[in-house]
Amino acid sequence: MGLPATNAGRPRFDIADIVREHRAALERRQVLSVGQRRVLSAIAVCRTAALGGHLDVCTRCGYEHPAYNSCRNRHCPKCQALAQERWIAARTERLLPVRHFHVVFTLPAQLRPLALRHPRPVFQALFQAAGHTLLELGNSRLHALLGITAVLHTWTRDLRFHPHVHALVTAGGLHEHHSRFVSSSQKYLFPVQVLGALLRGKMIDELRHLHAQGKLGNLDPDAFRQFLSGLPAAPWIVYVKKPFRELDHVLQYLGRYTHRVAIANSRLVEVTTNTVTFRTKDGRTVSLHPVEFLRRFLLHVLPHGFHKIRHYGLYAASLSKSLATARSLLPPCPGATPRTGGPSSTWTEQLHQLTGHDVTRCPVCGGPIQRNPLPRTPSRAPPAEAAS
């Protein structure tokens, strides 16, 4: 018997249904961390009566619609759209009106087991190595300070563990004497072989430092040195895409990457008691047992409080004066469209801008909606989902 599909107007299947039916089997199979248990608990009750909500009532025609609160967990596939729009709106004012390259730094396969055991320090090391690689090359080759926004992803399309950092990098930077903006080549940023070699050296230095601080567990020093020396010189994969021409394209791209979770409900093709089938790439699909699906999903739960979005160089918060100087040296970008939905907008305005759906008006007659709070149901009760 298949899992229940969600109501009309939503994706046909919901990861929350898989969590509710198969979490117990997963926990019999392996011990979950506190963070992983919290994520599963949040997803299971997201937008159900367990979190409370409100009843929308049209004061004109009497239409009623219950709407339940979201869990707001950053790993929940149903809770990222508004957070993403708010973040992009806040970043709009800081992006420079120049082309941006997309650079991807991938953690080698040999280091992935270490990252699974010690995710916080290893992810931190990958961020530092990637950011400092770009800053160093900007300084040595352009004599300029770049602007960098970096985002950590840990998954492949089939949910395997594959940590990598996506970096959006300005095609140039502020000259070291703050006298001009130095543009890079419009065809490439830096040679990928140089990026890969420098990333390797910096990552190894970061790991040595972490080991000396005891942040990688009780690893034997000699064995650890031998492990690092055995890391291959190549391939340390760094991929550089062609630069974006328009600032709007950069913003759209940021939106796709910053708040993405390992898998969205929209990618689920079929869910039964024994199989979860989901889309991967180029029209292909993968089928997993639901317990294995949840196991892979939980590989991508980040450590509590870990920031998966970071800024370096001109985009660092501490260098706002340098960013302002760089902006003053650049012509305005006529193709950039101001984003709305910033901090001054209400969530209803943001939702309207994002989806075109005005929750303050009745979908039947267009009359005004009155919102009446709904109480929470006991958290252990079977969660009831709101109709769309």
Q: What are 303's two structure tokens?
A: 């450590």
- Neighbour count for residue 338 (Cβ, 10 Å): 8
Query: CA-based angle 168:202:173, to the nearest 5?
Result: 35
Integer CA distances (angstroms), 56 to 50, 133, 230, 347, 372, in order? 18, 52, 62, 15, 6
pLDDT digits (tens, 9 = 90+) for 136-174: 999 999 999 999 999 999 999 999 999 999 999 999 999
Which residue numbers in the chain have pLDDT < 70?
Answer: 1-10, 81-83, 85, 234-235, 245, 255, 333-357, 377-388
pLDDT for the residue 357: 65
Map residue 243 onto helix, strand or coil.
strand
Question: What's the rounded Cα separation, in Å, for the pair 219 and 369?
Answer: 61
Segment (H or E) for 310: strand 309-313
Q: What are the residue ranges spanned by the domains of the chain?
A: 98-262+304-328
pLDDT for the residue 1: 40
pLDDT for the residue 76: 93
- The 8-class DSSP code of residue 163 comes to E
pLDDT digits (tens, 9 = 90+) for 80-111: 766 676 777 777 778 899 999 999 999 999 99
How many DSSP H helices and E strands does the chain contain?
Answer: 11, 12
pLDDT for the residue 378: 62
Q: What are 227's two structure tokens?
A: 């492990």
At 347, phi and psi to the nearest 5? Answer: -65, -30
In this structure, the chain runs to a length of 388
pLDDT for the residue 351: 57
pLDDT for the residue 8: 43
pLDDT for the residue 345: 62
Bridge partners of 172?
Answer: 183
- In sequence order, which residues have a C-beta less than 8 Å from that of residue 167 and are 6 or more positions away? 102, 103, 104, 105, 130, 131, 134, 148, 149, 150, 151
Q: What are 316's two structure tokens?
A: 């660092």
Q: What pTM does this model have? A: 0.85
